[in-house]
Amino acid sequence: MHVVTKTVALLLATACLALAQPAPVLRVDVARPVAEIQPTMWGVFFEDINFGADGGIYAEMVKNRSFEFFKPLMGWKVDGKKRTEGDVLVQNRGDEKSSNPRYLRVTTNGAVAGDLSLTNEGFRGMGIKKGLRYDFAVLYGYPSAGKVTMQLNLLNAQNEVIGTGTLSPDATASADRDGQWHKAQVSFTATATEPKGKLRIGLEGTGVIDLDMISLFPEDTWKGRPGGMRADMVQMLADLKPGFVRFPGGCIVEGHDLEQRYQWKKTLGPIEDRQLLINRWNFEFGHRPAPDYFQTFGLGFLEYFQLCEDIGAAPLPILNCGMACQFNTAELVPMSQIDPYVQDALDLIEFANGDVSTQWGKVRAGLGHPKPFNLKMMGVGNENWGPQYIERLAVFQKAIKAKYPDFKLICSSGTDPNGDRFDYLNGNLRAMNADLIDEHYYRRPEWFLQNVGRYDSYPRNGSKVFAGEWAAQSDDVAKPTNKNNWQCALSEAAFMTGLERNAAVVQMASYAPLFANADGWQWTPDLIWVDNLHVYGTPNYYVQQLYSRNKGTNVLSMTANGQALAGKDSLYASAAWDKAASEIILKMVNVSGKSVNRTVQLDGAKKLARTGTVMLLTNDKLDAVNSFENATAVSPVEQQIPVDSNKKTVAMMLAPRSLSVVRIKVTP
């Protein structure tokens, strides 16, 4: 009894002491920035996964426009009241045009309306908007005399007509019967909005016509570029103000086998010459098969560079290193045959930066962009590993550094942030003096909280880190049950304080993957979700946006009792200085379910504004998500906060489960 009383008394005393102790003041040293934050710090990772490019940001609405899918008529329905045997034939001209061998030969035997039609289903339907212009185009040829008219109809899900155009490829001009291909186009306006539309092409008249590259684009592409990108999706990227865009992947760089690796040179020039490839995500996951997923490369390397230029992001291409995906065939190019791979890398630098008098600079100029793209870095290999990777990388490094000593190379540390594979690569890459080492972590939210200090102990000299692919998984990596919920986003926000604090080491970071089509995804979680008409950012998107738009130029030290705030009392924090804006930026994360008060002391600040701005991202439910119906359920709200400019303090009330980004102006 006596012992119990004593214990209770002791507990009470401890509790009172704890209550009596004031919460530690968070001290920010404004006068002494500790490291530079690179302009590239927060970027985006783009890969054609989840219908990110074809069926996504690349605004082409016709699926299998050139009949090159494994099943040549996949996505198409041939229909009509008066079909005759052989009226629609798939022709293959083989080596005559190996990049695009197939086309359709259609014979119309006096067909009138309703007799013969081709209907394309789009990428899980076509998103059609009332009042918007649609641009139809086709390559055609008449192998013999005849005249065929195309009646174009946009259809809604009930097969009602919601847009009409007519195209009569000229059959009278002899030039049209010269055995060559010609382009015909017509534009028309939709009369209704439809998320699951289709395009029907009625073929009427008498004659034989060859058809290829049947295409439909909306008028409202990004910057109104014909054959361009979905403006709403690009806008989401632009709104992030990313420091870089990594492209084109991801595993897609490696290919299932070497034959199917991504080859940038094949993605330039006329779209009908860009040789299609099966998308590796077509068959990667048995639980999410996508038999209609192919890469048309309508979004090719010039377009990627253009996108970066448009949104002010540094381009970061990743090239194949002579190894196919090690989860798939793991094919290796023999060392004796690696030169073309290395040459591709050297040529890419010349393509991006070379004077128009150089071989590849001239190609760029010929494609309409004489101005260089100012490429400064490139990745060699994606998730490649083992001595075979190091051996191949060394050849790239030697050749590229010999020609371009200041050009930065990003090197792979494999698939995981720890373990033998990582340790081997990390050790070897540092010994090779790699510029940047690409680390990937798809882990549970708890991992992100436990690893906020991951980079505190990394060497300040030598190789830097590119946190190239990461996302908190609510379930487990590559599980279809993963959700973009607030718990994941909050843990990422906390982790990012550790990245920012260690900007001397971590120079670039990107969440992955970027886009997912709600009807055609293979991998969750993803930063931005789209359907044919809409787009929304996840809570994770808003975390990325708050960091990216409030990046600052220098890290400031922010401590509680002399220590970085990295989990004590469920709090995480970092601070930055924005030189151009002359502002202090604080990022504070409270992962607990209780609100917490903290005073921040801004040591060394000269004159502070009397109010600061807080961008608050919070939700009391850890499983909260955004959706098409409620796109901004978890999104930042802006508030003003008083600053005690005499005491140089700001009193923060950190809401439960919140990220607060604070900006305070300092006047000289």
Would you name the residues annotated as active-site residues? 383
Q: Which is nearer to ligand AHR, 209 or 516 (CB)?
A: 516
Taking Cα atoms as reference points, which of 619, 554, 546 lies closest to residue 581? 554
The conformation of residue 137, written as its DSSP 8-state character, comes to E
Q: Which is it for strands 133-141 and 147-155: parallel, antiparallel or unpaired?
A: unpaired
Judged by CB under 6 A, does residue 204 bind ligand AHR?
A: no
| Neighbour-count burial for 398-409, b at 16+ CB within 10 Å, e otherwise | ebbeeebeebbb
Residue 280 C-beta: closest distance to ligand AHR, Å: 8
Q: CA 627: distance to chain centroid?
A: 19
Q: Which span (248-256, 337-345, 496-504, 544-552) binds ligand AHR, by CB under 6 A?
A: 248-256
Q: Which is nearer to ligand AHR, 385 or 572 (CB)?
A: 385
Q: Which is nearer to ligand AHR, 149 or 267 (CB)?
A: 267
Helices (H), 354-439: 359-366, 387-403, 420-431
Binding marks (x or -) toward ligand AHR, 466..485, rule CB under 6 A?
Answer: ---x----------------
**Number of residues engaging ligand AHR in binding (CB under 6 A):** 11
Residue 53 C-beta: closest distance to ligand AHR, Å: 13
Taking Cα atoms as reference points, which of 25, 23, 21, 31 lies closest to residue 644? 25
Residue 259 C-beta: closest distance to ligand AHR, Å: 19
Which element (helix H / strand E) includes 301? helix 301-311
Give the per-residue SS3 of 575-587. EEEECCCCEEEEE
Residue 285 C-beta: closest distance to ligand AHR, Å: 11
Q: Which is nearer to ligand AHR, 203 or 253 (CB)?
A: 253
576-to-30, 33, 198, 317, 512 alpha-carbon distances in Å: 9, 8, 51, 29, 25
Residue 42 C-beta: closest distance to ligand AHR, Å: 17
Residue 33 C-beta: closest distance to ligand AHR, Å: 34
323-to-196, 250, 327 alpha-carbon distances in Å: 40, 13, 11
Q: Which is nearer to ligand AHR, 389 or 577 (CB)?
A: 389
- Out of 127, 243, 248, 249, the residue judged to bind ligand AHR by CB under 6 A: 249
Return the structure tokens found at 169: 């490829």
Distance (Å, whole) CA 169 – CA 409: 50
Q: Which is nearer to ligand AHR, 55 or 513 (CB)?
A: 513
Residue 532 C-beta: closest distance to ligand AHR, Å: 23
- Out of 250, 322, 354, 417, the residue judged to bind ligand AHR by CB under 6 A: 250
Q: Which is it for strands 277-278 and 147-155: parallel, antiparallel or unpaired?
A: unpaired
Residue 9 C-beta: closest distance to ligand AHR, Å: 56
**Dihedral class, residue 205 (left if φ above 0, else alpha if ψ from -120 to 50, else beta):** left
Q: Which is nearer to ligand AHR, 413 or 557 (CB)?
A: 413
Return the structure tokens found at 283: 């068959």
Q: Which residue is nearest to ligand AHR (CB)?
A: 250
Distance (Å, whole) CA 136 – CA 169: 13
Segment 382 to 441, residues that bind ligand AHR, using CB under 6 A: 382-383
Q: Which is nearer to ligand AHR, 44 or 211 (CB)?
A: 44
* Integer-rounded Cα radius of gyration of the chain: 28
- Out of 513, 525, 539, 636, the residue judged to bind ligand AHR by CB under 6 A: 513
Return the structure tokens found at 100: 């695009």
Q: Which span (76-84, 244-252, 361-369, 621-629) binds ligand AHR, by CB under 6 A?
A: 244-252
Q: Which span (100-108, 150-158, 213-221, 243-251) binds ligand AHR, by CB under 6 A?
A: 243-251
Distance (Å, whole) CA 540 – CA 263: 31
88 Cβ contact list (under 8 Å, min separation 6): 78, 104, 105, 106, 107, 116, 118
Binding marks (x or -) toward ligand AHR, 2..41, rule CB under 6 A?
Answer: ----------------------------------------
Burial class (CB in 10 A: 0-12, 13-18, 19+), 580: exposed
Which element (helix H / strand E) includes 555? strand 554-560
- Out of 47, 204, 347, 578, the residue judged to bind ligand AHR by CB under 6 A: 47
- Out of 171, 190, 234, 251, the residue judged to bind ligand AHR by CB under 6 A: 251
Residue 317 C-beta: closest distance to ligand AHR, Å: 14
Judged by CB under 6 A, does residue 292 bind ligand AHR?
A: no
Q: Which is nearer to ligand AHR, 221 or 279 (CB)?
A: 279
Q: Which span (151-159, 249-257, 282-290, 654-662) binds ligand AHR, by CB under 6 A?
A: 249-257
Q: Which is nearer to ligand AHR, 26 or 527 (CB)?
A: 527
Q: Which span (96-104, 247-255, 364-372, 430-438) binds ligand AHR, by CB under 6 A?
A: 247-255
Residue 223 C-beta: closest distance to ligand AHR, Å: 28
Binding marks (x or -) toward ligand AHR, 130..169, rule CB under 6 A?
Answer: ----------------------------------------
Residue 249 C-beta: closest distance to ligand AHR, Å: 5
Distance (Å, whole) CA 113 – CA 187: 20
Judged by CB under 6 A, does residue 54 bind ligand AHR?
A: no
Q: Which is nearer to ligand AHR, 322 or 513 (CB)?
A: 513
Task: List, in sequence order, every residue forming a beta bridge with 138; answer none if it has no partner.
Answer: 184
Segment 354 to 393, residues that bind ligand AHR, using CB under 6 A: 382-383
Task: List, in sequence order, every residue forming a beta bridge with 48; answer none if it has no partner.
Answer: none
Judged by CB under 6 A, does residue 523 bind ligand AHR?
A: yes
Q: How far apart are the first and last CA of the chain?
A: 65
Taking Cα atoms as reference points, which of 49, 38, 41 lies closest to residue 467? 41
Count Cα neighbours of 463 within 13 Å in the Cβ-side half-sphere: 23
Looking up tokens 């899900």 gives 157
- Out of 41, 44, 49, 148, the residue judged to bind ligand AHR by CB under 6 A: 49
Judged by CB under 6 A, does residue 512 bind ligand AHR?
A: yes
Distance (Å, whole) CA 320 – CA 339: 12
Could you list the residues that contact ligand AHR (CB under 6 A)? 47, 49, 249-251, 382-383, 469, 512-513, 523
